[in-house]
Amino acid sequence: MTVKILHNPRCSKSREALARLESRGLRPEIVDYLATPLSLGELRTLQQQLGVPARAMLRDGEDDYRTLGLADASLGDEQLLRAVAEHPKLLQRPVVIDGERALIARPPELLDDWLK
């Protein structure tokens, strides 16, 4: 199984998710998405893999969320994904990707059932 984690090493939940993957003997590809932001196309693909509305991919507690007016319910997926492409810290974390499926592993315990 080739697994990838969109990881923020400063985030305790992201570190915990990585540890859970490694405890299962997995050696995930680690992508520091703040240092190497995802393109708009990659975010679109990620949204499909997650199977969620773009809004579910956002960290609504970030200052940029308020500053950019992203709480506006009239904003569509494309506008929200563009905001994440331009401001990667808005991406909810950690995200684990396994082939064609992905999971926002928050809380990290969600990985336990997902990896079965």
Cα separation, 114 vs 116, whole angstroms: 6
Q: Say which of 11, 30, 75, 110 is annotated catalytic.
A: 11
Separation CA 110–CA 16 (nearest Å): 11
Q: Is 11 a catalytic residue?
A: yes
Count CA within 13 A, CB hemisphere, residue 81: 17
CA distance 32 to 4: 11
Report CA-CA distances (Å) from 116 to 18, 21, 24, 36, 87.
Answer: 16, 12, 11, 29, 33
Catalytic residues: 11
